[in-house]
Amino acid sequence: MRILVFGSLNIDHTYRVSHLVRAGETLASDGYQKSEGGKGLNQAVALAKAGMDVYMAGAIGPDGTFLLDALRAANVNTDLVKTLHCATGHAMIQVDEDGANSIILHSGANEQITLSMIDETLSHFAAGDWVLLQNEIAHVDEIIVRAKQRGLTVALNPSPASANIRLWRLELVDLLILNEVEGKDLTGESEPADIISSIHVRYSKRCKILLTLGAQGAIYVDENGALIERALPVTPVDTTAAGDTFTGYFIAQYARDKNVRAALRCATVASALTIQRQGASRSIPDQREVIEAMHKIEA
Ligand code: RIB
C-alpha cells in the first residue's frame, strides 16, 4: 500500500520565548532555529519513519530545496513536489517555557496548487492507495473529490481549523483526524461525544473519527464502537508537530493491520517522544525509538 501526502511544505522559523508575545509587546527571543516543517511535510516524515511507502506532493519555491533533502533523508519520495517561481511557505513559531506554541503561517507556494497539478498528481495513484490531507494548501476540497473518484482511501486532518472546511465534501472522507478545537469549529460543539455525533449526523456515519484531546488522550470511533487511549504523562519541551506525529504513526500502524488499539498506543508513544524534543519534523522519532519506548512502558 502506498500513501500520498498532498500537503504543505514550510520553512519553520522557531523562536524560544519566555512567554507567548502579547498585543503591542516587543519580545527578545532566547533562541532561534530555521528548520523543515509544514503539516504535510511533518506527516509525511512521520509516516515514513513509521515504515510506510510515502509520496509527498505539494509546492515549494527555490528557497525551499532543503525541505526536499529532509524528506529524502526520511525515505519520502519527492518526485511530485513542484518548484515554483515564488517563495516557499513559512511559519513563525513561538515556543514558551512550558513548551506551548503559537504559529503564524504564510502560505507562499502552498497556495499555488492548481487543479491541473492535482489531476497530474492523482494520475499516479489508484484504488488501494491512500491520500492524507491537511488544511494548509489550496483546493483541498477538490483533492478530496478527485481522489475519491479514483478510488483512493481519503484521510483528512483538517488542521489548522478554518470556516471554509464546513463547505467541504466531508462525507467522502474515510478517516477524519482532528483535535477538539477543529471539532468545535466544524460542529459548534465542545464535548467530545457531541462533536463526534454531530459529524456523523452532518456528514456520514461511515466516516471513522479520531478525536485527539491533548493531555486527555484520544478517542477513536467507527461502526464497531469507540476506543479511548490515555495520553502519557510527559513534560513538554516543544509541542510543535505532536499532532502530525500522532496522525502519521496512527495511519501507518492502522493501515498495516487495522488494529486500532495498537495504532492508538503507537501514535500516543510517538507523539509523547516528539514533544520532549525541540523542532517540528526533526523531533519525530523513528520506529526503533517508538518500539523501545513502548517496551519500557510495558515493562
Ligand atoms: O504542525 C506543525 C506545523 O504547523 C509546523 O511545522 C508549521 O510549519 C505549521 O505548518
pLDDT in tens, the chain (299 residues): 899 999 999 999 999 999 999 999 999 999 999 999 999 999 999 999 999 999 999 999 999 999 999 999 999 999 999 999 999 999 999 999 999 999 999 999 999 999 999 999 999 999 999 999 999 999 999 999 999 999 999 999 999 999 999 999 999 999 999 999 999 999 999 999 999 999 999 998 889 999 999 889 999 999 999 999 999 999 999 999 999 999 999 999 999 899 999 999 999 999 999 999 999 999 999 999 999 999 999 88
Q: Ligand 1 centroid to 91 CA: how many Å?
A: 7
Domain presence at residue 260: yes
Domain range for 227 is 3-9+37-88+108-298
Q: What is the pLDDT of residue 261?
A: 96
> Based on the structure, what is the number of domains in the chain?
1
Q: What is the pLDDT of residue 268?
A: 97
Domain presence at residue 103: no
Q: What is the pLDDT of residue 1?
A: 85
229 lines ligand 1 (CB under 6 A): no
pTM of the model: 0.97
Q: Ligand 1 centroid to 240 CA: how many Å?
A: 7
Q: Whose CA is nearest to atom 10 of ligand 1?
A: 38
Atom of ligand 1 nearest to the CA of 136: 10
Domain presence at residue 16: no
Q: Ligand 1 centroid to 108 CA: how many Å?
A: 14
Domain presence at residue 285: yes
Q: Ligand 1 centroid to 299 CA: how many Å?
A: 34
Domain presence at residue 18: no
| CATH code where residue 74 lies | 3.40.1190.20
Which one of the listed residues 98, 244, 257, 286 is annotated catalytic?
Answer: 244
Domain presence at residue 259: yes
Q: Whose CA is nearest to atom 6 of ligand 1?
A: 37
Domain presence at residue 94: no
Let me know if 30 is a catalytic residue: no
Domain presence at residue 97: no
Measure the CA angle with vertex 245, ends 62 and 158; round to 5°.
Answer: 75
42 lines ligand 1 (CB under 6 A): yes
